[in-house]
Structure 1
Amino acid sequence: MGSCSSHAASIPDLDSIRRETGFSQASLVRLYHRFQALDKNQKGYLCRTDLQQIGALAVNPLGDRIIESFFPNGSYSVDFPGFVRVLAHFRPVDEYTGVRDPKEPEPLNSRMNKLRFAFQLYDQDRDGKISWHEMLQVLRLMVGVQVTDEQLENITDRTVQEADEDGDGAVSFLEFVKSLEKMNIEQKMSIRILK
């Protein structure tokens, strides 16, 4: 236990990061070690090539888009707090069902924040809507060459039509949320980062 707290002292703003992300101190220490292992040149930040070394992202069809989410607004590097903020979206939802203080921000791993994160993986031009072409791109990444282009276009047509309630040919965030209301996104978008 003592070694964990001594390593914790090397993490800047540990308490603030813990409150914001919901990770325990022990989890943050392990994530900090993972961050340092990815930062082979000890720069104090990660770039895209560092994150491409993560095996789970390399084999994930949306891996490149997930990696991009670490670099908002065209930035070229991510520090430890930024790294952990993105990972917090994938933290399993706590079993705690008590009342949350409305003055506190919504947890990064809440259903709504997980949905916002997923929506951004589709909405590549950041216009607030998933266009037919954006949907097609994601479906193509996910199914690869297992279906023909014609089949993929038909699936895209049906997917957009089913979600698009206002008939504008695209899926807004609210339409996206509504189309996934029966899906257990809290579990589907959870990974055990620290085993």
Structure 2
Amino acid sequence: MGSTSSSRNHVPNAQELLQETGFSAAHLLRLYERFEFLDRDGRGQLRPDDFEAVRELAMNPIGGRIIGAFFPPGQETVDFPTFVRILAHFRPTEKNRARDGAQTEPANSRTGKLKFAFQLYDLDRDGKISRAELLQVLRAMMGIEVTEEQLQSIAERAIQEADLDRDDAISFDEFRKSLEKVNIDHKMSIRFLK
């Protein structure tokens, strides 16, 4: 039986990732093992199709969008440190956790989680969620359970309620304000690391 710290030695950028993401050494090691499992050909980089092995993503109606969040425009692969930084958005928020010398909010802060969620809707990455983008996500999430007319109605109501500046789109600030009362930590937490 090796210790977690000795096992961690083969994890790339381990100390930096522990500090930056707040994952424990055991969680980081578990994520590295998961990354290696997904990296079927051992190239140290994941492509979008490597995520097909994650059953929960395959079953999620917006799984493709979640996978896409790992790959910024023009980036076709993701390395282990990037993989961990993305997954840090889904860590439960620790209310009293102080980050030594941190200049930015942690990925698992309320704002970090909201920014991640926002990008799942902002398909063209212009900083706004248009009615068309909202409809596209709603179609994927609801599928054949609702009619097109119902989808249009849901999108219209969401835009009306959230669009405070009346530009017919939802900015990040409007998105954040519309979700003030939502427990985003509960909705965007992966508990498999416990």
| Aligned counterparts, 1:59-138, within 5 A | 59-94=59-94, 96-97=95-96, 103-138=102-137
**TM-score, normalised via structure 1 length:** 0.94
Shift in Å, 1:102: 6.7
How many residue pairs get aligned? The number is 194
What is the alpha-carbon distance in structure 2 between the residues aligned to residue 138 and residue 151 of structure 1? 14
What is the alpha-carbon distance in structure 1 between the residues aligned to residue 62 and residue 127 of structure 2? 19
**In structure 1, what is the equivalent of residue 182 of structure 2?**
183
What is the alpha-carbon distance in structure 1 between the residues aligned to residue 151 and residue 73 of structure 2? 31
Correspondence 1:165 to 2:142 = no
Cα distance per residue 1:123-154 (max 9 Å; x no partner): 00011000000011111111110111011101
**TM-score, normalised via structure 2 length:** 0.95
The letter for the 2-side match of 1:141 is A
* CA RMSD of superposed structures (Å): 1.5
Correspondence 1:46 to 2:46 = yes
Q: 4+ residue runs of structure 1 moved beyond 4 angstroms?
A: 98-103
Shift in Å, 1:97: 2.4
Correspondence 1:21 to 2:21 = yes
Q: List alignment gaps of at least 5 residues for structure 1.
A: none
Which secondary structure state, in structure 2, belongs to the residue aligned with residue 89 of structure 1?
helix
Identity over aligned pairs, percent: 57
What is the alpha-carbon distance in structure 2 between the residues aligned to residue 55 and residue 74 of structure 1? 26
The letter for the 2-side match of 1:37 is F
Q: List alignment gaps of at least 5 residues for structure 2.
A: none
Which secondary structure state, in structure 2, belongs to the residue aligned with residue 145 of structure 1?
helix
What is the alpha-carbon distance in structure 1 between the residues aligned to residue 98 and residue 41 of structure 2? 44
Gap change, CA 1:42 and 1:98, over 3 Å in 2: closer
